[in-house]
Amino acid sequence: MILVYGYFAIYVGLCFLAAMFGRKRRIGMNGFFVIALLGTPLLALFLLLITAPARPRGDEA
């Protein structure tokens, strides 16, 4: 049973890592975390490759 919790902790950790890479994307960290949880972290990393970075706001020059 402890092994199952270990795998779950690793999975959530990988989801969090994928979300950290998506911080500056249009979907954001929370969006990529949900995608990684519902899909797989590999799916989230693939989406990172095909999504564009967030545009800078007008007041940030």
Give the pLDDT of the chain (61 residues) as one tens digit per residue.
889 999 999 999 999 999 999 998 888 999 999 999 999 999 999 999 998 887 777 765 5
Q: What's the pTM? A: 0.80
Task: State the pLDDT at residue 31.
Answer: 93
Is 44 inside a domain boundary? yes
Task: State the pLDDT at residue 40.
Answer: 93
Is 17 inside a domain boundary? yes
61 three-class SS: coil
Task: State the pLDDT at residue 2.
Answer: 85
* Residues paired with 53 in a beta bridge: 25
Task: State the pLDDT at residue 51.
Answer: 87
Q: How far apart are CA 28 and CA 35, in angstroms?
A: 11
- The answer to whether the CB of 48 falls within 8 A of the CB of 15 is no
Q: Which domain range does residue 9 map to? A: 2-50
Q: How far apart are CA 61 and CA 12, in angstroms?
A: 36
Q: How far apart are CA 27 and CA 8, in angstroms?
A: 24
Is 56 inside a domain boundary? no
